[in-house]
Amino acid sequence: MDVELLITLLILWGVIMLTVSKKYRTMDKESRKEARSVIGTKRFITTTVPLLLGMFVSLLGKVAGMNIVILIGAGVIGMAGIYTAVTMWRNNKRNMMLFSLFVMLSILLLLL
């Protein structure tokens, strides 16, 4: 187990979680209701959640030194990236290309 990577993982995800929870607590009731409705949409659940889950699983695999877990996380990121790119294709082709490059780069960096 790589202790430095574990500390980096905890800091990275900890800062994200603290920032999101702080922002949520400072919202008024109407904004909170709107945020919950966005998080509950089919698009959010099928695009953002798998990307975050795949990244988290891959980073846990790196911390534990388990290559199969890293590959599973990269596969989840890849599938979510493909689905997101296909859904983005209808709206904005330029952003879809940038997003696809980001997903490919993140998978490459995870596998190195």
User: How are the residues of the chain apportioned to helix, strand and coil, as percentages rounded to the nearest 5?
Assistant: 90, 0, 10
Q: What is the pLDDT of residue 18?
A: 93
Structure tokens at 91: 């709206």
pLDDT digits (tens, 9 = 90+) for 24-60: 999 999 999 998 898 888 888 888 889 889 988 988 8
Tell me what pLDDT residue 19 has: 92
Q: Could you give the CA distance from residue 93 to residue 38 in angstroms, rounded to a whole number?
A: 23
67-112 pLDDT per residue, tens = 899 899 989 988 888 888 888 787 878 878 888 888 888 888 777 7
State the residue range of the domain holding 47. 3-111
* Residue-wise pLDDT tens digits, 97-106: 888 888 888 8
Q: How many domains does the chain have?
A: 1
Tokens representing 5? 């990577």
- Specify the pLDDT at position 68: 93
Neighbours of 4 (CB within 10 A): 8
Instruction: Give residue 56's Cα distance to chain centre.
Output: 7
